[in-house]
Structure 1
Amino acid sequence: MRAGLRRGYGARMGSSDLYFSCDVEADGPVPGPYSMLSFGLSVAGSFDGSVFTPRDPREHTFYAELKPVTDGFVPEALAVSGLDRDALVAEGAEPGRAMSEAARWVRERAARERAFPVFAAYPLGFDWMWMYWYFVRFAEGGSPFGHSRALDMKTLYAARAGARVRDSVKAKMPRRLLPARPHTHHALDDAVEQAELLQNLMMWDGRP
């Protein structure tokens, strides 16, 4: 990624990455013993190798609340999202249906733009772990992002700023990079908020 990428709308058809910002809320630290309760996806923009084209992150979104796949949960993790786990047991979407619909939505959005879908999150490790595991286990056709088409916003900031990863936190970022939207721990709200962070990082000239 070069500093100071131009904002524009002339990306070559078939040569762009299309970034999907994602946020996950779960009831524990890892998939398998615990469950993903909700996730949100937001189209953040496209990049053709020289031009980043931002999108309104509220325009193209996907959100689902899922039926838990295990009985185990960590109360402290569950409390972060405020979701009602008992209600999700009764009324949450079946993971197979939700993940298949999400995968199809990602593929269709990317196909319309003849672009490659890229998963983006802050930080990547947690959200990718959950989404990849759920896509592989439950979605028809598996992961629409393959096994590695993903971008970590934390690492992107560290590389662009010349900062240590441990210092690459929002509290230490220049104020103009920070999203205007609040971080609510609602998965779709936070996917949209972090799409704005990605846009700011992609168009940042690297100066404080």
Structure 2
Amino acid sequence: MPARRVKPSRYISVDIEADGPIPGPYSMLSLGAAVAGTQDADGFRPADPEEWTFYRELRPISDEFVPEALAVSGLDRARLQTEGVEPAVALTEFSTWVREVSVGAQPVMCGYPASYDWTFLYWYLIRFTGESPFGHSGCLDMKTLYAAKAGLPLRAVAKGTMPRHLLSRRRHTHHALDDAVEQAELLANLMAWPGPAGSG
């Protein structure tokens, strides 16, 4: 009996900036994404993370915000109230882009860590478009991937404890697109890394 053909996964690095800890009461203010690569039965093939990218700044959905969270990105809420893209428009454009760059593959969102960004992204997708191009579970957490390969407890993992050759040489700027591109390079390095036992 022939082996069942595995549909490739198209990994899309996503980073969001928000003005609070959870979506709904608080707002996603920017969304950046970059295609990181493709994995199939033959392995992982990295993409140039600057080749296929997406970026939008969004209009806030409430008046609530946490000043410390807002300060991380440096985004101006007052400006976004007038210049930000309506969430329904931005998320529809994002879904269209994801489907366009994932032709022939299944899109998978990836992040470091993915949990915060996925919470906002999935909530916004369902709230404003009614569906997610990633489904409800198409999410890969790079922090978990590293912990599993390194044989470490998850809570022991931080970027500062990782081997330097795994990290992107780009600065982490808290601009959503910059950070999505940086994370795409981290994923490619993690996918190629055999783990501590195989890296000499």
TM-score of the superposed pair, with normalisation by structure 1: 0.90
Residue identity in the other structure for 1:93: V
Residue identity in the other structure for 2:114: L
1:79 maps to which of 33, 55, 71 = 71
Secondary structure at the counterpart of residue 73 of structure 1: coil
1:192 maps to which of 181, 187, 190 = 181
Structure-1 separation of matches of 2:81 and 2:190: 38
Counterpart in 1 of 2:132?
143
- Give deviations 1:101-154, integer Å, cap 9, x for gaps: 00011011111xx00000000001100000000000012x51110000110000
Secondary structure at the counterpart of residue 140 of structure 2: strand
Secondary structure at the counterpart of residue 29 of structure 1: coil
Structure-2 separation of matches of 1:41 and 1:128: 12
Structure-2 separation of matches of 1:78 and 1:50: 42
Residue identity in the other structure for 1:95: P
Structural RMSD (CA) = 1.2
Q: How does 1:88-103 map to 2 (within 5 A)?
A: 88-103=80-95
Number of residues of Structure 1 aligned to a counterpart in Structure 2: 193
Retained in 2: the 8 A contact 1:14–1:115?
no
2:109 maps to which of 112, 119, 143 = 119
Q: Structure 1: any 5+ residue segments left out of the alignment?
A: 1-12
Counterpart in 2 of 1:109?
101
Structure-2 separation of matches of 1:168 and 1:49: 28
- Whether 1:20 aligns to 2:12 is yes
Secondary structure at the counterpart of residue 59 of structure 1: coil
Secondary structure at the counterpart of residue 21 of structure 1: strand
Counterpart in 2 of 1:162?
151
Residue identity in the other structure for 1:98: A
Structure-2 separation of matches of 1:66 and 1:115: 28
Secondary structure at the counterpart of residue 71 of structure 1: coil
- Give deviations 1:68-122, integer Å, cap 9, x for gaps: 00000000000000001000001100000000000011011111xx000000000
Secondary structure at the counterpart of residue 102 of structure 2: helix
- Give deviations 1:14-53, integer Å, cap 9, x for gaps: 7210000000100000001000000101000000033110
Segments of 4+ moved more than 3 angstroms = none
Structure-2 separation of matches of 1:94 and 1:153: 30
Structure-1 separation of matches of 2:151 and 2:161: 13
- Sequence identity percentage: 60
